[in-house]
A and B are shown apart, each in its own frame.
Chain A
Amino acid sequence: MAPFYEPEVVAPGKLVLEGVKKTFRTSRGDVTALEDVSLSVAEGEFVCLVGPSGCGKSTILNLVAGLDTPESGQVLVDGKAVTGPGRDRMVMFQEAALFPWLDVRGNVLFGLSLKPGLKRWARRDVADYYLQMVGLTDFADAYVHELSGGMRQRVALARALAPNPRVLLMDEPFGALDAMTREQLYSDIQRIWSKARKTILFVTHDVREAVCLGDRVVLLTPHPGRVHTEFAIDLPRPRDPFAVGLASLAAKITEELRKSQQQAAEEAHT
């Protein structure tokens, strides 16, 4: 039976980072993860952050999620400074981070149970609505270990969408999946994004993935993490990761990435 819930339409959020600096204390001294990073993501925009490891792309995500606080600068969501985690910004992690003691529906319900003003039966309808959206209706009663990696990420996506956030933060959600599963998820995420319009900040180290999904690709360079270049992606949707236009654009960005890394290496030597 199809769930009869229809989500309330919420306006996607606007993200602004202004001169953000973040340093981590480690046993080998302080490491500057981000140095004067400014970035803005418009309402409903799909922005991909790309860069090698150490460029601070996950740190940016954690700051927006409210799991971390910047040392200086500001992180704003709809003009308000982020002070902690909130249901207006939901996160999808690389390792899905589903709870093994709950079944699939229970995982989707977890975030909903904390949302005020929702009755128990209503929550179930919401959970089933999103499970249907990601194509896992038949697996609502399955446990996490019974699912494939791709299915787990779909559950994680349903869990993140269920509280109907304004912003979706995705931290290399497809990084651990095989190529076939990834391509399937690219088309799924584009379909879902066109239906449930969210502002999406998507972190990846895969340039082709970024070009396939993003309205804009932001290239970051490491040590310390900075915004290097931005690329607007004006390809029609839905996009095929193997289309010629997409591949040549991905090659151009990869070339830029390589140059920036060489530059950084030269600077480090002088």
Chain B
Amino acid sequence: MNRRLKALCVFAVLLGAWEAGDRAGLWRSDLLPPPSRVAASLWKALTEGQLLAACGVTMSRLGKGYLIGLLAGMPLGFLTARVRLASDTLGVVALGFQTLPSVCWVPLAILWFGLTETSMLFVVVMGTLWSILLATEHGVRSVPPIYVRAARTMGSKRMHTLLKVILPASLPFILSGMKQGWAFAWRSLMAAEIYLALAKNKGLGYMLHTEGRDIGDMEMVLAVMLVIIAIGLLVERLIFSPIERALHHRWGTGLATG
């Protein structure tokens, strides 16, 4: 039997035990509904369209905020790597804010921007920005000076050196910052969606909290949690892993595991 099949068997047994335990009445069904009912709830939410709509709302918030964080974080990272004053000020601030769990931005966002999309965006940007900034700074500082010297002898100057030498040379570092930024942004957005129940645009956090917990729909809570996990895994597998593998292949670093 191959590895995958074995692992699949273990999960099947666990799900079977969960289902059987429920049928035998070992625990309260309303607190831990059986997998069959969770699946049914998931299917219903999927076919009625509300789940996909919520995914769309959440992913669009995340996408916008992440892009802003990335586009602002990279140039600022270059700045702190190159200008001592920026490093002593902005760099220190970034380090501080990065240690702050990004959930902590939620109350501040509500007070500043109210129950609005801007609040959501703000929280995602704060989750992304500092990780990207610090990773870029670290990456730029780690570029071997010989690369820049070699490029200069070939006629490369300022902007060309920045875009064609320093940026690609620091890409492995920037990518790890992007992964971390994504993780922070994803977590903080869920928190924001739970606290800021925006009924107009219902995201996954809204479904989880307001539509699931408030009316005691435990099937829905579990179903949405599964979706959140699935999205996290998909982004890792479909976006970050391939990029990482391509980088490792080129640089000959690390182990490209599949």
Contact = CB atoms under 8 A, between A and B. Distances in A.
A145 interface: yes
Interface in B107-133: none
A65 interface: yes
Interface in A61-120: 65-67, 85-87, 89-91, 93, 95, 97, 99-103, 110-111, 114-115
A93 B156 contact: no
Contacts of A97: 144, 146-147, 149-150
A66 B154 CA distance: 11
Interface stretch (B190-198, B204-212, B236-244, B247-255): B247-255
Contacts of B149: 67, 91, 93, 97
Contact of B152 (A67, A99, A103, A115): A67
Interface residues of A, number: 27
B86 interface: no
Interface in A110-136: 110-111, 114-115
Contacts of B156: 110, 114
Contact of A144 (B146, B169, B252): B252
A33 B138 CA distance: 32
A101 B252 contact: no
Given A95-B146, A97-B146, A101-B169, A110 B151 contact: yes
Contacts of B151: 110
A99 B165 CA distance: 8
B155 A87 contact: yes
Contacts of A95: 146
Question: Chain B, interface size: which category?
Answer: 20 to 34
B32 to A, nearest CB: 50
A67 B153 contact: yes
Contact of A114 (B154, B168, B249): B154
Interface string A155-166: 000010001000
B251 A101 contact: yes
A87 B150 CA distance: 11
A87 B147 contact: no
A193 interface: no
A97 B153 CA distance: 12
B173 to A, nearest CB: 13
Query: What DSSP secondary structure best describes chain A's contact surface?
Result: loop
B171 interface: yes
B84 interface: no
A143 interface: yes
Contacts of B160: 114
Contact of B251 (A66, A87, A89, A145): A145
B153 A89 contact: yes
A146 B252 contact: yes
Nearest to B164: A110
Interface in B221-258: 249-253
Given A67-B149, A93-B150, A97-B150, A86 B155 contact: yes
B167 to A, nearest CB: 9
Contact of A100 (B146, B153, B155, B252): B252
Contacts of B252: 100, 143-146
A140 to B, nearest CB: 15
Given A145-B251, A145-B252, A101 B153 contact: no
A144 to B, nearest CB: 7
A129 to B, nearest CB: 17
A207 to B, nearest CB: 26
Interface in B159-199: 160, 164-165, 168-169, 171
B153 A65 contact: yes
B168 A101 contact: yes
Contacts of A99: 147, 165, 168-169
A159 B147 CA distance: 13
Given A97-B146, A101-B251, A87 B171 contact: no
A241 to B, nearest CB: 28
Contacts of B168: 99, 101-102
Contacts of B251: 100-101, 143, 145
Please name the 3 residue pairs, one residue from A and one from B, whose CB atoms are nearest each other, closest first. A145-B252, A111-B154, A97-B150
18 contacts: A67-B149, A85-B155, A91-B149, A91-B150, A93-B149, A93-B150, A97-B150, A100-B251, A102-B168, A111-B155, A114-B154, A114-B160, A143-B249, A145-B251, A146-B252, A159-B154, A163-B154, A163-B155
Given A99-B168, A145-B251, A145-B253, 13 more contacts: A65-B153, A67-B152, A85-B155, A86-B155, A90-B153, A91-B149, A91-B153, A93-B150, A100-B251, A101-B250, A110-B151, A114-B154, A145-B252
